[in-house]
Amino acid sequence: MPLRTSFAQMNCSFARAIDVIGDPWTLLVLRECFLGVERFEGFMQALGLARNVLADRLQALVAEGVLEKLPVEGHARHHAYRLTEKGEALLPAMVALMQWGDVWISGAGAEPILAVGPDGAPLAPVGLRRANGRPLRPQDVRFAAGPGAEALTRGHLAQLQAQGRK
Amino acid sequence: MPLRTSFAQMNCSFARAIDVIGDPWTLLVLRECFLGVERFEGFMQALGLARNVLADRLQALVAEGVLEKLPVEGHARHHAYRLTEKGEALLPAMVALMQWGDVWISGAGAEPILAVGPDGAPLAPVGLRRANGRPLRPQDVRFAAGPGAEALTRGHLAQLQAQGRK
């Protein structure tokens, strides 16, 4: 897919992340992984998508190291797909997106699924914090060139800053 | 697009959120909004996508209430696109995804763009917390039926729980 290739080459970790997981079906496959689905037929049953689409998304996630494909004991031709550490690390972004959907689409009191802690209590809303741990409002966040910024990125950020934006 | 319609009808705030913003170009348009881009030509310059694709994505985001389209003073035919409160609320999810890309794709010390606070210091990694504010590891998070869960959702979660998954 040329689209994904061009995203991967962007000088931006957000674009690079989207290249790996920013396809709608991929995101739903990952949702099922976090819910505990591991088998091809389990994904099929939960999502009802075309077999070739599911196979393509699972293969890509394994190739990217987000999932690992493991043999199932006693079933020579069966496999389980499990989140790697890289995959598990996506959970804050995914919970934040689900919570956004809870607040702004489903509405408070109508949440279909809740992310809960070991005690069964719903998690706190995912929020932004300063390095010292103090909460920060979205409007107080700015963006700056990082150590991996290329000239084009630096220019883009400088131009926006000069225009009085963030 | 039938794909987006089917996601919107799912009994899941994550799927509903993906229906609104889970298209790769939509996510990059939102990135530019957070960086401070407001004008059609600004998005064109930053993203280099087809004009009709950009127009489609902007129109959809306005229709969903994520962006608002405002007149530009002194330019009768020009408009600015600005994040609404609903749009601003996406920032934790987007920063979490960028930080994931920093750690797992770009790599530490090679971050192209940093989200920083008013003091210029990079934000803390976006993480999950219990209701009482204590941090929680991804592997300690579980999913439970919420007040808006339909029978199919409850059944799916119960089945996974019975299998000894999360």
pLDDT in tens, A126-142: 999 999 999 999 889 99
A89 contacts: CB under 8 Å, gap ≥ 6: B100, B103, B104, B138
Q: Range with the lowest mean pLDDT among A17-21, A108-112, B160-164?
A: B160-164
How close B53 gets to chain A, by Cα (Å)? 13
CA A57 to chain centre: 14
Confidence bin at A2 (pLDDT 50/70/90): very low
> What local confidence, expressed as pLDDT, does residue B74 receive?
83
Question: Can you tell me the distance from the alpha carbon of A126 to that of A100, in angstroms, rounded to the nearest whole number?
Answer: 9
A31: which chain B residues are within 8 Å (Cβ-Cβ)? Answer: 12, 14-15
Q: Please give the share of chain B, as a percent, with pLDDT higher than 90.
A: 83
A33: which chain B residues are within 8 Å (Cβ-Cβ)? Answer: none
| Whether the predicted pLDDT of B151 surpasses 50 | yes
How close A73 gets to chain B, by Cα (Å)? 16
Among the partner-chain residues B37, B100, B130, the one whose CB lies closest to the CB of A121 is B130
pLDDT tens digits for B33-83?
A: 999 999 999 999 999 899 999 999 999 999 999 999 999 888 878 899 999
| Whether the predicted pLDDT of A145 surpasses 70 | yes
Average of pLDDT values for A72-76? Answer: 83
A116: which chain B residues are within 8 Å (Cβ-Cβ)? Answer: 141-144
Mutate to test the interface with B, among A4, A11, A13 (most CBs of B within 10 A): A13
Contact between A114 and B143 using a beta-carbon 8 Å cutoff: yes
Confidence (pTM): 0.94
Contact between A123 and B120 using a beta-carbon 8 Å cutoff: no
Contact between A131 and B124 using a beta-carbon 8 Å cutoff: yes
Instruction: Please count the residue pairs, one from chain A and one from chain B, whose beta carbons lie less than 8 angstroms apart.
Output: 316
Kindly write down the DSSP assignment for every residue of B68-114, as one continuous string. Answer: EEEEETTEEEEEEEEE-HHHHTTHHHHHHHHHHHIIIII-TT--SEE
A119 contacts: CB under 8 Å, gap ≥ 6: B130
Average of pLDDT values for A79-103? Answer: 97
> What local confidence, expressed as pLDDT, does residue B5 receive?
59
A158 contacts: CB under 8 Å, gap ≥ 6: none
Q: Report whether B152 contacts A116 (CB < 8 A).
A: no
